[in-house]
Amino acid sequence: MNVVVLSKFVPNPEGVPEMGDDFLLKREGVEGSLDPGDEFGVEAGLQLADTTGGEVTVVSMGPEAGATQAIRKALSMGAAKGVMISDPQLKGSDALVTAKVLAAAVQRAGFDVVIAGVESTDGYTGTLPMTLAELLGVPALTFAKHIENRDGTIVIQRQTETGYDVVEAPAPVVITVTAGANSPRYPTLKGIMQAKQKPVDQVTVSDLGLAEADTQPTQTVEAVNAAPEKAAGEVIEDDGNAASRIADLLAEAKVI
Amino acid sequence: MAKIWIYADVTGGKVNSGALELLTKARSIDGAEVAAVALGPGATDAAATLGEHGAATVYASDDAVYDDHLAQPAAHALKQLVDEHQPNLILFGLTYPSRDVAGRLQALTGSTLMSNASDLPSTDTAQTQIFGATKIVDVKLGGPDPKLVIFRPKSFPAEPSGGSANVVAVNAEIGDDLKKAKRTERHEEEATGPKLEDAAVVVSGGRGLQDASNFKLIEELAAAIGKAATGATRAIVDSGWVPYSYQVGQTGKTVKPSVYIAVGISGATQHLVGMKESKRIIAINKDPEAPIFKIADLGVVGDALKILPQLTEEVKKRKG
Ligand SMILES: Cc1cc2nc3c(=O)[nH]c(=O)nc-3n(C[C@H](O)[C@H](O)[C@H](O)COP(=O)(O)OP(=O)(O)OC[C@H]3O[C@@H](n4cnc5c(N)ncnc54)[C@H](O)[C@@H]3O)c2cc1C
Ligand SMILES: Nc1ncnc2c1ncn2[C@@H]1O[C@H](COP(=O)(O)O)[C@@H](O)[C@H]1O
């Protein structure tokens, strides 16, 4: 099975995010990495490809430096090749534009299975893979915490609010994987060396056959305001009385 | 006059409470014509509740195809309804099935889709909170109608209006090509005690509990308080200490209890967005610099493993 894994570069999740004057999250010239959520996708893709004798293509859209870093990481984990979509026209893309661009790139690469994260760490829109599936005209198995291939039918355990469901669909299919679905492998030194030789196809919007109208975002930020701050409470050291102080508050709230 | 629709998730025959919150908001908008769409077994029964919360019309179908085959049939049925009735705005709750349907519908209508919204100042502007809910962003929704917006749970209170809905049966064409994905099994975790989203008190634990076996200290405190639910951070869910259904935060549940007790939780922004609207917040953490203290009404700097058993005893004593 040939698997396309979507991989996004995100600014350092531990760091303080920065916003530019245009109200967009700064994505250029910032420290960052392959989205930690997408590492689960890469791992799931490698496992599927390994057991079925296919290969993994990693696709990333974003500013060149970051997208390159995200793709490199996936290649060093074992993906066979990369597709990087970097185009100044795509700055400030919203979910629909991103989905159209990724759908065109995925179609161009060819796929049996497309794997994405459940949501990105920086944008957490969490709907892109479903929009992509509809654009590709294929079913989607979303929120997977376990993935299995049974003769070309993908069977997953789908996370629910109260447990999980077992759902299945024949390939071609889009899958989203939850964090914790597997243990992403660490790149080996050999993997890191090999990654430098692996092919990465660089494409632009026009290479994908998209028109300018396809890349017009439909959302604009009008204002950013500070949320009302909560008045600071009291912080005490536990000197043996903490339990009693907490119980006082519970009594005041009339819950005991 | 704005036509506002609410997509009501009826998985398992029950209406998602988010739909009732969104109906309450929608009916408060001047001149809004409010309708709901409910698809799947139980939809027609759900129409009464939807009507009570402000839906003048409910487009409903009890067909199991919407449950058995996941989002594709529902997205296409919704698209057919959109073409016929031309709503201006469709509001969704942030549930897995709704996210699936909204994402697909966006591809079919080519309209804008905004996620994680927290308020709706006008019919073409939505708000979202970023950076751990320290900033509020106003987003103008452009492009063709219907605009699609997904709201975080508990963005609005759910209040009945006493109305009743006119139920319109949905008879959408669903071809076999939309039935490729199917659900074959359901597994429900055994639930004990009150639901996390509805409990008056939530006691949550984080990595500061040191070990999975110490989560029982959280459970014992919750049991002593009574009407309390137990929650967790993603850190301990990912480590397998407790199931995902316990997770509070951006990618878990949103809670607004009267009292939230955060034990051994650092206060990462992704956790805070799920609980910062709680009425009173109590935090126990051994690090005085932990960010959780910035939003706590009462912060205790100390060892959770020591304080928890003392607190459980104290609560039992006071309750007599
Ligand atoms: C996209 C994304 C989504 C996320 N979604 C969520 C989400 O929905 N919910 C969520 O919770 N997290 C979420 N996270 C993870 C989040 O960023 C944090 O990593 C997580 O909340 C930290 O959990 P924690 O507080 O248990 O652990 P830590 O951050 O490790 O904190 C442990 C705390 O325990 C204290 N401690 C240690 N020992 C003791 C002791 N003996 N007594 C008292 N205190 C002690 C420490 O001082 C520390 O403050 C998300 C992250 C990402 C990137
Ligand atoms: N620019 C991008 N390049 C590659 N993959 C992406 C991009 N944006 C989103 N994705 C994928 O879609 C998933 C969900 O993203 P989102 O809907 O933006 O939260 C992510 O986890 C990625 O796998």
A23 at B interface, C-beta within 8 A: yes
User: How many Å apart are CA B149 and CA B242, to the nearest integer?
Assistant: 32
Residue ranges in chain A assigned as alpha helix (H) = 36-52, 64-77, 95-109, 128-136, 189-195, 242-252
pTM of the predicted model as reported, rounded to 2 decimal places: 0.91
Q: Which residues in chain B touch residue A221, judged by CB atoms under 8 angstroms apart?
A: 137-140
How remote is the C-alpha of B291 from its chain's centroid? 24
Interface contact B234, partner A, CB < 8 A? yes
**pLDDT at residue B90 above 90?**
yes
User: How high is the ipTM of this complex?
Assistant: 0.91
Is residue A17 within 8 A of residue A11, CB to CB? The reply is: yes
Contact A150/B at CB under 8 A: no
Say which range, A39-43, A166-170, B273-277, has the weakest mean pLDDT: B273-277
Average pLDDT, chain B: 95
CB contact under 8 A, A218 and B111: yes
pLDDT tens-digit readout, B134-168:
889 999 999 999 999 999 999 999 999 999 999 99
* Pick from A209-223, B171-185, B291-305: least confident: A209-223
Mean pLDDT within B259-267: 98
Mean per-residue pLDDT for B297-301? 97
Q: Which residue has the tokens 């009890």?
A: B62
Separation of CA A51 from chain center: 23
- Residues 30-89 of chain A with CB under 8 A from chain B are none
β-pairing verdict for A219-226 and B135-141: antiparallel
- Encoding tokens for residue A235? 């912080």
Q: What's the pLDDT at B51?
A: 97
Chain A with chain B: Cβ pairs closer than 8 A:
248
Lowest mean pLDDT among A92-96, A140-144, B67-71, B289-293: A92-96
Residue B31: is it exposed, middle or buried by C-beta count within 10 angstroms (0-12/13-18/19+)?
A: exposed
Q: In percent, how much of chain B has pLDDT > 90?
A: 89
Q: Is residue A13 over pLDDT 70?
A: no
Q: What percentage of chain B carries pLDDT values higher than 70?
A: 100
Across A141-161, average pLDDT: 95
What is the per-residue pLDDT for A212?
85
**In sequence order, what E strands does chain B have?**
3-8, 33-39, 57-61, 89-93, 113-122, 125-130, 135-141, 147-151, 166-169, 182-188, 201-205, 228-232, 259-263, 280-285, 298-301
CA distance A109 to A62: 18
Among residues B217, B178, B208, the alpha carbon closest in space to that of B271 is found at B208
Please state the rounded mean pLDDT for residues B194-215.
Answer: 96
Asked if B98 and B9 count as a contact pair (C-beta separation under 8 A), the reply is yes
Residue A16 has a pLDDT of 67
Q: Distance, CA A161 to ligand 2 centroid (Å)?
A: 23
Question: Could you give the angle at which helices A64-77 and A36-52 cross, rounded to 10 degrees?
Answer: 40
Over residues A122-137, the pLDDT tens digits come to: 888 899 999 999 999 9
pLDDT at B253: 92
Q: Is B99 on the interface with A (CB under 8 A)?
A: yes
Over residues A163-218, the pLDDT tens digits come to 899 999 999 999 999 987 999 999 999 999 999 999 999 999 999 999 888 899 89
For chain B, what's the residue count?
320
pLDDT above 80: residue B11: no
Provide the residue count of chain A. 256
Residue A235 has pLDDT above 90, yes or no: yes
Is there a contact between B181 and A167 if contact means CB atoms under 8 Å apart?
Answer: yes
Mean pLDDT, chain A, integer: 92
* Per-residue model confidence as pLDDT tens digits over A15-35: 666 777 777 777 667 788 999
Ligand 1: distance of its center to the CA of B92 in Å? Answer: 29
B interface test, pick of A100, A130, A154 with most B CB neighbours within 10 Å: A130
Q: Which H or E run includes A174?
A: strand A173-177
Residues of B in contact with A143 (CB under 8 A): 96
Residue-level pLDDT at A15:
67
Residues B204-224 have a mean pLDDT of: 98
Q: From the list B71, B102, B136, which residue is nearest A227 (CB)?
A: B136
